[in-house]
Amino acid sequence: MTAVRDGKSVDTSMGFAPLNGLIMGTRSGDIDPSIIFHLINQLAYDPEQVNTLLNKRSGMLGLTGFSDMRDIGKVVQEGNRDAELALDMYAYRVKKYIGSYTAVLNGLDAIVFTAGVGENDVNTRRRICSEMEFLGINLDDEKNKLRSTETGEINSTDSPVKILVVPTNEELEIAKQCYTLLKT
């Protein structure tokens, strides 16, 4: 996640590496650093095993057995309570960042959902926006269900905060930036 003011990033959930921040497909996201010492000192993990565990075997994979949110959504529909809990944990973590970034920015104009989960996962957007009315985040459930290839608002008409779904083409953007870099 990124907090943006006047078109410039002022904070991001990633730290030195992408392990920090949100729960990802295979990465743990924020953890208590003492876990690392516990794994090494109490469970006899070596540093490489800790690295592999936190980067490749944690996150949604460690919580559900799946790293892809589409697969997790399917097993939730089948009644898998562990997967339901994992999605709640994911939304909870996003909400914490929204709250802290709202404080950093001294308010909130818009929330932008983009990329794979943000563009396509109606239920995750609903989980994230639920019980956030005190911040002016009011989701329109019907608009949230609509699929589009265009940028669209999914907030209610009385929502002080805009909630946007913005389609992306990450691969094209990476290619454009590489081209520009190589051209100079």
Instruction: From 78, 107, 136, give the residue that closes a domain.
Output: 107
- What's the structural domain count of the chain? 2
Which residue, of 75, 107, 139, is where some domain finishes?
107
Residues 100 and 126 reside in one and the same domain: no
Task: Examine the domain organization and report whether 88 and 118 are in the same domain.
Answer: no
Indicate if 19 and 68 belong to the same structural domain: yes
Are residues 13 and 23 located together in one domain of the fold? yes
Query: What's the rounded mean pLDDT across residues 9-33?
Result: 94
Residues 45 and 28 in one domain: yes
Write the pLDDT tens digit of every residue in 125-171. 999 999 999 999 999 999 999 988 889 999 999 999 999 999 988 88
Residue 46 sits in which domain range? 1-107
95 lies in the same domain as 164 = no
pLDDT of residue 149: 84
Q: Model confidence over 89-136: pLDDT tens digits?
A: 999 999 999 999 999 999 999 999 998 889 889 999 999 999 999 999
What percent of the chain stands above pLDDT 70? Answer: 100
Is a pLDDT exceeding 90 seen at residue 25?
A: yes
Residue 173's pLDDT band (boundaries 50, 70, 90)? confident
Q: Which CATH number fits the domain that encloses residue 132?
A: 3.30.420.40
Question: Which residue pairs, CB below 8 angstroms and at least 24 apart, start in 152-159?
Answer: 154/113, 154/125
Q: Are residues 88 and 113 in the same domain?
A: no
Domain boundary (52, 83, 107) is at 107
Residues 38 and 65 in one domain: yes
Query: What's the mean per-residue pLDDT of the chain?
Result: 95
Q: pTM score, two decimals? A: 0.89
- Do 21 and 53 lie in a common domain? yes
